[in-house]
Structure 1
Amino acid sequence: MRKKIISKIYLLWAIFIIISVIGCVKQNIDENQILAKSSSGDETDEFINLIKFHEKDISGWKLASKIRMYDKNNIFDYIDGAAELYFAYDFFKVVTAEYQNGQTSILVDVYDMTNSENAFGIYSLNRYKGANYVRIGNEGILEDATLEFWKGQYYCKVYSFNQSEEYQKIVADIGSKIASRIHDFGKEPNIIKRLPQDGLIHKTEQFFTRKLGLDNVYFISDENVLELDGQTKGIIAEYQLNDKTFHIFMVEYPSPEKAISAFDTYSEYLTKKGEINEKKVYKVENRFTYIKLGGNIISGFWDVESEELMKIALDYIR
């Protein structure tokens, strides 16, 4: 009787081990399937498909090589010199392709910048008065045979080294096709709406969240005197009065306390660099600078050349 009981115990134990092993194997298989699905998931395919064209789609142009994708870990392999600037706008990944027709190539890049604010921001660095703006995506700039535009969370570039008018049209056509595949429009940062409209040179608004972004459009100091940290949202735009131009800027901070800290830091810097008058306007290197604190926002102007212009600029800010 005792032997039968022991035999049953061993049998139950063996069944338990077999079930456990099967369960572990099944779990490993399921995990592998999930990993495989994740590494080649729908989102990646959808991203690649933004720039994947058949020859019939773009009249005779063929892929010269496989479409490549780079992320935060290997983006330096693709744009070594400029990668840091993309990181200043929360770069996530990029897909790139080369299309050929005979001896001529057209290159296509689509950058996923995480959200539409960052996509607009990296695009806005190339805005300037008198640019050839085109209605591709939310907005584009077409110069020679180079197109840049933004839509949704994507910043896109299409360009050819053949600068002829013929290739400019082809580049614009490919860009329009890419834009049509991006379904979300996104929106410009809300802080743009706070800018004064009088004297504003439209389409000179440029968005930044970190010091490196601001440095690329307007350099203040080697130090981060505005305490920009990625959570800040800043805008700078060019203004014109008569024949004189100057810049108005605004920076929104996550809290009033952080805005106060940045205001104190920048004020201290300006005090060391120049003189302050009764209107609390600083004169630095024969130009006037003004900063104002209001809640969690610092605003002000740079590059005002004369006292007369300074008084008008103060009315804009106040």
Structure 2
Amino acid sequence: MFKKSLILLVLLLPVFAFAEDVKFPKMEGWQQDGEVKTYNRDNLFERIDGASEFYFSYAFEKLYVAEYKKGDAELTIEIYDQHDPVHAYGIYSMERPPSADTKPIGLEGYYDDATLNFTTGKYYVKMNTYHVENAGETLLTKVAQQLAPTLCADPKLPAQYAAFPQENMVPHSQQYVSTNFMGLSMMGSAFRAKYTGSEGDFTLFIMHKKDRDAAAETMKKYQEFSQAETIGTKEGEYTIDDPFNGTIYLLWKGNYLVGTSGKVTPKKAFVLAKETMANLKQE
């Protein structure tokens, strides 16, 4: 068993197979099974039928797939080009299990039952093995750590995710909802993170609009939807009685809307919103 495990703990060679602007690793003892396959928006359904629309909503551009074999063992690497780090981390965060034991692979990654996923730069990478006993996690981690720097040399958490205050935030709960935030089409996309407080659990969110006019239009439509007695048109603090999502505390400044939903006091909500707003770059 010990000898078998040693064989599986392969060393990666500093050689890569190119596929346009991405490079796949060549591994000692493993043979690439066929050519690298590529998919775009026209044929992604051939690879992930039923899930392609979800990937499109996160600015999907291209998928590269390489498959390897070593005897009966198999290893597959999928590299999704999601256009930019915001969308790459976004779709990764939506698929990441809440209980994931995250690791500093690329920007962030995790291993779960013969699968290792990570994100770095504009890429979301999904890797899995079959019939690799005992050392599957070690193998995938070794491959991922070699692959990640070739995709992005210096990955950083995009500013909107990094803007959330750390105190009382549930670890690794930052996410990006690409459309229909809170189930409302008028809201569009939003960044969110979960928190625990004295009143209970709540969500802090950031809506980044293209400019002040777009933020103003969202505010107008949201107030109309909530049947506000008067429609506020000035930047500042708002309390929205959302018939679907309960009381929402919302701070509007420039092209950003920062708010909370859930069990939180107005005072705490606006303190957090102001702290978050201060961490954001106005445009």
Shift in Å at residue 147 of structure 1?
Answer: 0.9
Equivalent in the alignment of 1:220: 182
- Letter of the structure 1 residue corresponding to residue 182 of structure 2: I
Q: Which 4+ stretches in 1 moved above 4 angstroms?
A: 161-165, 283-287, 308-311
Deviation digits for residues 41-63 of structure 1, max 9, x if unmatched?
Answer: xx84442xx2242xxx2x42222
Distance 1:124 1:51 in 2: 24
| 51, 54, 59: which one aligns with 2:24 | 51
**Partner of 2:172: helix, strand, or coil?**
coil
Map 1:293-304 to 2 at 5 A.
293-304=252-263
Equivalent in the alignment of 1:6: none
Residue 144 (str. 1) matches residue 103 (str. 2): no
What is the TM-score with the length of structure 2 in the denominator? 0.77
Distance 1:127 1:245 in 2: 20
- Letter of the structure 1 residue corresponding to residue 256 of structure 2: I
Map 1:65-76 to 2 at 5 A.
65-76=34-45
Higher relative contact order (CA 8 A, sep 6+): 2
- Letter of the structure 1 residue corresponding to residue 29 of structure 2: G
Over the matched positions of the two proteins, sequence identity in percent amounts to 25
Larger radius of gyration: 1
Contact 1:127/1:204 (<8 A) preserved: no
Would the alpha carbon gap of residues 166 and 114 (structure 1) be closer, same or farther in structure 2, given more than 3 Å must change? same
| 62, 73, 90: which one aligns with 1:104 | 73
Shift in Å at residue 260 of structure 1?
Answer: 0.6
Aligned pairs, number = 250
Distance 1:171 1:269 in 2: 48
Q: Which moved more, 1:125-134 or 1:258-267?
A: 125-134
Would the alpha carbon gap of residues 117 and 136 (structure 1) be closer, same or farther in structure 2, given more than 3 Å must change? same
Contact 1:127/1:206 (<8 A) preserved: no
- Letter of the structure 2 residue corresponding to residue 85 of structure 1: F
Shift in Å at residue 67 of structure 1?
Answer: 1.6
Distance 2:267 2:21 in 1: 53
Map 1:197-216 to 2 at 5 A.
197-208=166-177, 210-211=178-179
- Letter of the structure 2 residue corresponding to residue 117 of structure 1: V
Tell me the C-alpha RMSD between the 2 structures.
2.8
Greater percentage in helix:
1
Q: What are the ranges of 5 or more consecutive residues in structure 2 without an aligned counterpart? A: 1-17, 229-237, 275-283
Contact 2:193/2:203 (<8 A) preserved: yes
Would the alpha carbon gap of residues 289 and 143 (structure 1) be closer, same or farther in structure 2, given more than 3 Å must change? same
Contact 2:105/2:144 (<8 A) preserved: yes
**Partner of 2:204: helix, strand, or coil?**
strand
**Partner of 1:280: helix, strand, or coil?**
strand
Residue 125 (str. 1) matches residue 84 (str. 2): no
Q: What are the ranges of 5 or more consecutive residues in structure 1 without an aligned counterpart? A: 1-42, 229-233, 273-278
Equivalent in the alignment of 1:4: none
What is the TM-score with the length of structure 1 in the denominator? 0.69
Equivalent in the alignment of 1:171: 140
Greater percentage in strand:
2
Contact 2:251/2:270 (<8 A) preserved: no
Residue 248 (str. 1) matches residue 204 (str. 2): yes
Equivalent in the alignment of 2:217: 261
Deviation digits for residues 150-185 of structure 1, max 9, x if unmatched?
Answer: 112211111124585421221212212211322433
